[in-house]
Amino acid sequence: MARASHFFLSFLALSTEALRVSERDDMISRACTLKATKGLTHNLIQKSQKCGKGMKVHGAIQQFGDEIDEFLIPFTQWCVTHTSNNNAVLRPLPRKQVPLFEDINRVQFALRDGACDGVVSVSGQFVGAATQSDLKNGFEEWYKANNGKPFVPIWMDTGKPANQTSMHYEEPFCNRSSSPTHLHDCFFLPTSNCIMGAQQWERIRTEMRPFGGLQNVSIGRQVAGTRASGVDLNIMWQMLFFRQNAKTRSELARRERAWRAKNPSWPARSPHGEPPASSAACAALHIRHGDKLTPFWMNTHHTVAGGFNRTLDEYLDEALNLMQRNAGVDVGAEVRIMVMSDDADIIKASMKTKRATTFHVDQKLDSLSDVLQADVLQAPGGFSYGKGGSEDMLQWLLTIRLMSECDVFVGNLGSGFTKFVYHGICEQRQGNCPEAVTLGCGGKEYSELFNYRVSPPSVVQHATC
């Protein structure tokens, strides 16, 4: 039966891949292949007008990574789908998404003469709360206002100078600076060309609203073209805020090569940046435990009722059920599952399970059982989140990249960090989200624009929100 299951999974995966390739030709013509050399940014701009299926750059990719970035920054409808030492593949987003991002470009990257008047949103919280709540909510409010001024998100604590922030996500990958955007700039491309300087930030930071509220809201204007709404804005925000810069892309490519050398059976994209043929046979799990299951958070935020007290087996129940439903056959234990968690106990359990072939990316994690036994978290905070550095951020991004090979995701989308992971997978897949099951609150959600399909559990008990 296992052999038959493998045959049907392979057949389904190949059929799915054939459909993908027929919709978006995998091949990039020789006319759309460029050499990494001086003037690369200008050449990319010129070629992009004629190379609607994508462009390939070969040569010294690391040396000319900044020039690729210079092209990408104002053209948010383009992204890098593959990076290696001597090749980079750039592709436009699907046609139905392009008008949304071209509309963003006209505001975020309009020609400016000196100073600019922006709409600023600030958050100094950890990655989940900051980027999936505060700043994302600010973006939604700005976007719905149809505003003519650029949106300027600043991920920085207002209570301290920027070079003294208590967050360390950028270290030691990047040097800390007085710029209010240095944490974001370390890994990702700018979201606009309206950039606040260090001196201005220091003058006004104590006057800024700390949890994403907009300031300096401008009068509205009508903008022609497609507009996003609802869940589409969540994905659109992620695709704008988390576009990786050349330094990050290069480092992640290095880490991915090293990880894959030890895990050769994990599905891989083609050198052209297309999803793997075997993507139907893998799933991604993000299992959020951590402080959600400590006494303070359980009592204050009712996190058990919210579905956070789930075992690895419950996540596997949903993942395997969805994969079996999509494949039409018993998928068997040979299916590949990427497991990500903030609880070392979950990673240990995943290494012992016989229900699937599991993978993970190494990180320093606390064990929930050890923390509860020590009884040290009777107040909010803790669980080592405040000690996170660039190693954590890079390993998160690497895991998201590897998870993007899969067409199934299971998590609790009541967590901001789980949203960061899931929406990050959507971004890595050029706005083509994997089908998802949330073990938290909420019912079905669907959006055709980003292929967004989220459902409540089909096997395990629903959260009692």
Output the pLDDT for position 331: 77
Q: Is 274 exposed, middle or buried (0-12, 13-18, 19+ CB in 10 A)?
A: buried
Tokens at 169, concatenated: 């996500």
Q: Is pLDDT of 6 > 60?
A: no
Q: What pLDDT band is residue 450 in, cutting at 50, 70 and 90? A: very high
Q: What is the pLDDT of residues 60-109, one digit of tens each?
A: 898 899 999 999 999 999 999 999 889 999 999 999 999 999 999 999 99
Q: Alpha-carbon distance 201 to 187, whole Å?
A: 20
pLDDT of 218 > 50? The answer is no
Give the number of other Cβ atoms within 10 Å of residue 302's Cβ. 13
Residue linked to tokens 């969805």: 322
For 264-455, which CATH class? alpha beta
Which residue in this structure is represented by tokens 């020590």?
374
Q: How confident is the model at residue 26 (pLDDT cuts 50, 70, 90)?
A: low
The alpha carbon of 458 is separated from its chain's Cα centroid by a whole number of angstroms, namely 26
Quote the pLDDT of residue 274.
Answer: 58
pLDDT for 309 beyond 70: yes
Residue 222 has pLDDT above 80, yes or no: no
Domain ranges of the chain: 28-92, 109-227, 264-455
Query: Looking at domain 28-92, which of 3.30.70, 3.30.110, 3.40.50, 2.30.30 is its CATH number?
Result: 3.30.110
